[in-house]
A = this chain, B = another copy of it.
Amino acid sequence: MMARENDVKGAGAAHDATPDLSQAALIALDWGTTSLRAYLFDAAGKVLATRASTAGIMNLPVPAEEGGFDVAFDEAVGVWLAQAPGLPVLAAGMVGSAQGWVQAPYVETPAGAQALVDGIVRVRAASGAEVAVVPGVLEPGALPNVMRGEETQIFGALTAAGTVSGADSGASGATSNVDDTGDAPPALIGLPGTHAKWVVVEGERIARFYTFMTGEIYAALCAHTILGRTMKHPVDPDTAAFLRGVSVAREQGCVGLLATAFSARTLGLTGQLAADEQPDYLSGLVIGHELAGLEAALARRDVSLAACAPQLIGAEALCERYRLALAQFGCDGARLVRHATEHGLWRIAVQAGLVTPR
């Protein structure tokens, strides 16, 4: 079972600053481009402590060629390893990319958890610890797609026995080890964010996935086009303006974002959209176009978005926006999955034999 995470650097979380290392069984790292989060697990899969830093692979405390990965690693988990030097260490995310600590080549779709385990690459830290690095996933083709880190969250979401919406997932079956080749129905998993992913899972394998540059393009539109000039960011999110944008994207989707985006300006010019409605309206437009594109991609394979019950992984407020937007597409069954990262890291560590669950 997995406890709610405690960030030892977070305000008010000092009660967990000195975990009981005698119970520790695994260190696992979610090491991305701009952040590093470390989890300390006991042998039952419970998170004893977490530590967070901004030492992402593009934000190391010293340059990589001067040992930046070792420095960041020591700062993150050295205090744990000093007390429990033999702990196994697993890491997932951009740390395994070409710009990472060690390159863990992509596993190709369809990719199950065992394929990820088989693709693990190891790197020896200067301190002597061996770090097992989870590979990313590549879907080859005319429009290739890649992920690093999300694959671990996805297997975490698939592992979690109970996914919830609006309540804490206090206990879940993090130690279950589902057969890769099972015949579970296809699942759709969404990971909103800078580069949003939508992943189709068939038979416990990542069958195919799509990347939408939604968060990054939204930010560029706000900061670096004429649309930002008339915007005022409201104190509270404007859900009505957001849903209006989703609706326009859905109804006018085929004209494309290049055209509908201009309406954030012209609706303002014609007095139909206030300055402080424009940011959320535009957010609704881009997320609406993402979902319209997803709907079209699924339809090519005779899958109806409306008939899916997607699991959403990500920041809670953003996932809630997606849940509302999905409902406009007739997709009412979306639900938030919490702790997917911890679940996934634990599952892969178990399956890789790094830790034996009790």
Query: How often does this chain occur in the complex, in copies?
Result: 2
B296 x A255 contact (CB < 8 A) = yes
Residues of B within 8 A of A86 (CB): none
Size of the A side of the interface (Cβ < 8 Å), in residues, is 47
Residues of B within 8 A of A267 (CB): 143-144
Closest residue on chain B to residue A286 by CB atoms: B258
**In residues 230-261 of chain A, which contact B (Cβ within 8 Å)?**
248, 252-261
**In residues 4-53 of chain A, which contact B (Cβ within 8 Å)?**
none
Which one of A61-69, A213-221, A310-318, A325-333 is at the interface? A213-221
Residues of B within 8 A of A260 (CB): 143
The secondary structure that dominates the A interface is helix
Whether A165 is near chain B, meaning CB under 8 Å from some CB there, is: no
Residues of B within 8 A of A223 (CB): 224
Whether A73 is near chain B, meaning CB under 8 Å from some CB there, is: no
Name which of A252, A253, A254, A261 has the most chain B CB atoms within 10 A of its CB: A254
A255 x B286 contact (CB < 8 A) = no
Residues of B within 8 A of A253 (CB): 256
Closest residue on chain B to residue A138 by CB atoms: B270
* Known contacts A217-B221, A217-B225, A144 near B266 by CB under 8 Å: yes
Name which of A146, A248, A258, A267 has the most chain B CB atoms within 10 A of its CB: A258
How does the 8 Å CB contact mask read for A124-147 relative to B, with 1 for contact and 0 for none? 000000000000001010111110
A325 and B60 alpha carbons, distance in the complex (Å): 44
A181 and B348 alpha carbons, distance in the complex (Å): 72
Whether A114 is near chain B, meaning CB under 8 Å from some CB there, is: no
Whether A269 is near chain B, meaning CB under 8 Å from some CB there, is: yes
A220 x B213 contact (CB < 8 A) = no
Name which of A253, A263, A266 has the most chain B CB atoms within 10 A of its CB: A266
Whether A272 is near chain B, meaning CB under 8 Å from some CB there, is: yes
Residues of B within 8 A of A226 (CB): 216
A266 and B142 alpha carbons, distance in the complex (Å): 10
Q: Apart from A143-B266, A211-B266, what are 18 other A-B pairs with CB-CB below 8 Å?
A: A140-B270, A143-B260, A144-B263, A144-B270, A210-B259, A211-B259, A211-B262, A216-B225, A216-B226, A224-B224, A254-B254, A254-B292, A254-B296, A254-B297, A255-B296, A255-B297, A256-B290, A257-B257
> What are 23 A-B pairs at a CB distance below 8 A?
A142-B248, A143-B248, A143-B252, A143-B266, A143-B267, A144-B263, A146-B269, A211-B262, A211-B266, A212-B256, A212-B258, A213-B225, A213-B258, A217-B258, A220-B220, A220-B224, A223-B224, A224-B224, A255-B293, A256-B290, A256-B292, A257-B257, A258-B286
